Chains A and B, each alone.
Chain A
Amino acid sequence: MNEKKVVPGVDELSEAPGNQNANFHALEVCFVALIGILVIAAFFEATTYKLVSSRTPFVIMVPLIILLVIQMIRLLEVGSVSSVTQRVGASIKGQIPSITKNVSLLSWLTALLATIVIAGHYIGIAAFVFVLTRVLSREALRPALWVTAGTTVLLFITFELGFDIELYRGLIYRYFAGYRVF
């Protein structure tokens, strides 16, 4: 993917095939850097453990750090740091559509999790499915409602009736049901 030299221009932040390499390159640099930071943090954390507990993590982390450094060198050989910062800036400003779409979906997934915690599984799922089909994808109202209702009923039948698994009812329900441990 990154074998060719990546030289982005100012107006090359779109999703055209030629520019995708540069976008992926920037994304990978950030990915490797993030993994690197996490592994180094874990390395220092492991130094506080007993020898037996830290032995295997060290056996894994030493080659992992070496490989991450090699990969970062490879990445910086095929693309410049300025290209990476330029694209990171563009994605933060919402100029790269695929990243914006990704971030939007992830935000809705996080909202789904928060809704499940507060209002319960069924309300969270129904709201999520409706938002994605109707609001984000602009599907017609009636099919969106059918899909929302169908999915919620399917989950109830499969999990509650089929597998006898009670799905989470949410903090509000549990509070009024008398629970004080959530």
Chain B
Amino acid sequence: MTIIEGMTSGFLQAISLGVLPFLVTGAIFGLIIGVIPGLSGHFAMAMAVTFLYSMEPAAGIAFLLGAHSTVAQGGGLTAILFSTPGTGQNAATLLDGPPMRDKGQAGLAVGAAMASCFLGATFGAIALALLIPVLRDVVLFFGPPEIFVLAFLALTFVSILGKEDMTRSMIAALMGLMLAMIGVDNVTNTERFTMGSSDLADGLSLVPAILGLFAVAEMIELWVRGGSLAKDVPNPLSGRETQKQIFAGIGIAFSKWWLVLRCSAIGTIMGLIPGLGSAPAAFVAYGHAKQTSKDKASFGKGNIEGVIGAESANDAVEGGALASTLAFGIPGSSSMAILLSGLFILGLETGPQMLNDNLDIVFVMIFTIIIGNLIGTVIGMFLVNPLSRATSIRASYMVPVLLAIIVTGAYAADRSLFDIGIALVFGVLGYLMKVLNYSRAALLIGFVLGFAVEKNLYLALLIDGPFFFMEPIPLTLTLITITFLGVNIFGFFRDRRKEQS
């Protein structure tokens, strides 16, 4: 399939009646989840993934990515209105969003944030489209030895660059790999770690594991915390005034196109690096916006450029993150790991096959990101006030309802009661990992990559023998992994010595 064919087919599929309703539903769902503090983008995707079994690939991807793409928009809204970021990735928006609200410019900040999200996501999606010809050639150099070493490189990056402690994250990544070993070994047909249970013979199911790690765990935390999710809006504006300001904010975001472009580029490039994620990208972009601004002093006191910089980088990350996920099957974040699981469920394979035979699906993703963000912006423009009311739902209502949906989703994936048990066990594990600062992203990525790691290790040994990592690309990747790990371990001990002295 040529790129033009893939692009045309992808666009027609994305706007077809079989896909667009799923995209709109996903986008609205993501926006609502994003608005509610405590529920993250992972939660939206974990919930969405349960419905994929009964969907066509394009519709499933549109639903999943639609939900994912609007979460940051919803999160930005609450960061500005309530000083509570709906998701972690909106933390940088807190620096200038709430001060703008306090100056009576809440609508302006919301409009600028929504438009910047849309523009950033569009930039990231276009960057991904432009990367496809390059990736198609690069991916051909990646056989089993390269993929095996690349998987470890990605896990190392995720463990070290994530916000959690390095040792804990590495433990989590290895735990994820270990969990993937449960079930029948495909080479020798030996049952491993199943404790004689036939339910475990096919390994742990992905959907209940994802639901447990991200959705049940969030619910347990929310239940323990209790109460209402957000306070009243400080300095609320009238509906008409808010609307007027939102349109003005959108206009300002478009007029600052050069800043949007630069910050989006930062987001896209950082998205390519596994483990970095949206939050650091938003902070780097914020720093860049401040550094290059003529009015540095007003940053942190309500400068709209701070909001635009952070929000445009936030969503541009997805384009970069998708590139490595689709080309090599190596997810760089928990969201991408869930997306990869979704692709498995929909029967799609990443790597050369995705970039050559299923190029239309790649473009469905690209157009989904753009259209999803556009839908989010349009809904956000007109429904700011009703959307913000979602934050006043008490945990005592929200937790039982969402848990009921999660449990049903865990069952529905394979019609298995055993899977409900898996979701609950992973829920406890996810909750413990969250409160104890262990990276759930690293565990999930390890879990998703486990099968590929084992298969590629087996093939690498078969093809190139025990010194397969001495080939040029694996050797380079191994050296990068060791150097990166070494530098960080050295830094860890140096900091510790400093602390002790």
Which A residues form the contact surface with B (CB < 8 A)?
1, 3, 24, 27-28, 31, 35, 39, 42, 45-46, 49-50, 52-53, 55-57, 59-61, 63-64, 67-68, 70-71, 74, 98, 101-102, 105-106, 109-110, 112-113, 116-117, 121, 125, 128-129, 132-133, 136-137, 139, 143, 147, 150-151, 154-155, 159, 163-168
Chain B residue at smallest Cβ distance from A112 = B407
Name the one of B171, B401, B437, B458 contacting A52, with C-beta atoms under 8 angstroms: B458
Name the one of A63, A110, A154, A164 contacting B424, with C-beta atoms under 8 angstroms: A110
A166 to B416: give the CA distance in the assembly, Å. 11
A53 to B499: give the CA distance in the assembly, Å. 44
Chain A proximity of B180: nearest CB distance (Å):
9
- Tell me which residues across on chain A come within 8 A of B486, comparing CB atoms: none
Given A101-B223, A167-B408, also A35-B192 (CB < 8 A):
no
Indicate if the CB atoms of B223 and A57 lie closer than 8 Å: no
- Tell me which residues across on chain B come within 8 A of A110, comparing CB atoms: 424
- From B6-14, B93-101, B183-191, B300-308, the one touching the partner chain is B183-191
Given A117-B417, A147-B397, also A67-B404 (CB < 8 A):
no
Indicate if the CB atoms of B193 and A45 lie closer than 8 Å: yes
A136 to B170: give the CA distance in the assembly, Å. 38
Chain A proximity of B410: nearest CB distance (Å):
10
Indicate if the CB atoms of A155 and B424 lie closer than 8 Å: no
Chain B residue at smallest Cβ distance from A35 = B175
B248 at the interface (CB under 8 A from A): no
Indicate if the CB atoms of A155 and B405 lie closer than 8 Å: yes
A45 to B408: give the CA distance in the assembly, Å. 34
- From B263-271, B352-360, B428-436, the one touching the partner chain is B428-436
- Tell me which residues across on chain A come within 8 A of B417, comparing CB atoms: 113, 116-117, 168
B224 at the interface (CB under 8 A from A): yes
Indicate if the CB atoms of B190 and A53 lie closer than 8 Å: yes
Sample (16) of A-B pairs whose CB atoms are under 8 Å apart: A3-B499, A35-B175, A53-B187, A56-B457, A64-B174, A102-B220, A106-B424, A109-B427, A113-B421, A129-B404, A132-B399, A132-B400, A133-B400, A136-B396, A155-B408, A165-B415
B420 at the interface (CB under 8 A from A): yes
Chain B residue at smallest Cβ distance from A25 = B436
Given A165-B54, A168-B411, also A24-B435 (CB < 8 A):
yes
B349 at the interface (CB under 8 A from A): no
Chain A residue at smallest Cβ distance from B178 = A60
B412 at the interface (CB under 8 A from A): yes
- Tell me which residues across on chain B come within 8 A of A74, comparing CB atoms: 167
Besides A101-B223, A133-B397, 14 more A-B contacts (Cβ < 8 Å) are: A24-B435, A50-B190, A53-B190, A57-B192, A60-B174, A60-B178, A102-B223, A109-B407, A113-B407, A116-B411, A125-B408, A128-B404, A133-B396, A163-B412
Most B C-beta atoms less than 10 A away, residue of A27, A46, A112: A112
B181 at the interface (CB under 8 A from A): yes
Indicate if the CB atoms of A46 and B424 lie closer than 8 Å: no
- Tell me which residues across on chain B come within 8 A of A56, comparing CB atoms: 181, 453-454, 457
B20 at the interface (CB under 8 A from A): no
Given A137-B396, A155-B405, also A57-B178 (CB < 8 A):
yes
Indicate if the CB atoms of B400 and A151 lie closer than 8 Å: yes
B136 at the interface (CB under 8 A from A): no
- Tell me which residues across on chain B come within 8 A of A116, comparing CB atoms: 407, 411, 417, 420
Name the one of A64, A102, A151, A166 contacting B404, with C-beta atoms under 8 angstroms: A151
- Tell me which residues across on chain B come within 8 A of A102, comparing CB atoms: 220, 223-224, 431
Most A C-beta atoms less than 10 A away, residue of B403, B404, B436: B404
Most B C-beta atoms less than 10 A away, residue of A42, A116, A128, A165: A165
Chain A proximity of B166: nearest CB distance (Å):
10
Indicate if the CB atoms of B420 and A165 lie closer than 8 Å: no
A106 to B174: give the CA distance in the assembly, Å. 26
A27 to B434: give the CA distance in the assembly, Å. 12
Given A53-B188, A125-B407, also A109-B174 (CB < 8 A):
no
Q: Among residues 214 to 232 in chain B, which have CB atoms less than 8 Å away from a CB atom of chain A?
A: 220, 223-224
Binary A-proximity of B230-262 (CB < 8 A = 1, otherwise 0)? 000000000000000000000000000000000
Chain A proximity of B441: nearest CB distance (Å):
17
B32 at the interface (CB under 8 A from A): no
Indicate if the CB atoms of B454 and A71 lie closer than 8 Å: no
A53 to B189: give the CA distance in the assembly, Å. 9
A137 to B224: give the CA distance in the assembly, Å. 11
A139 to B170: give the CA distance in the assembly, Å. 43
Indicate if the CB atoms of B400 and A64 lie closer than 8 Å: no
- Tell me which residues across on chain A come within 8 A of B188, comparing CB atoms: 49-50, 52-53
- Tell me which residues across on chain A come within 8 A of B396, comparing CB atoms: 132-133, 136-137, 139
Indicate if the CB atoms of B401 and A165 lie closer than 8 Å: no
Given A31-B432, A49-B192, A105-B220, also A129-B181 (CB < 8 A):
no
Indicate if the CB atoms of B435 and A27 lie closer than 8 Å: yes
Indicate if the CB atoms of B407 and A64 lie closer than 8 Å: no
Name the one of A1, A64, A147 contacting B175, with C-beta atoms under 8 angstroms: A64
A31 to B428: give the CA distance in the assembly, Å. 11
Name the one of A59, A60, A67 contacting B167, with C-beta atoms under 8 angstroms: A67
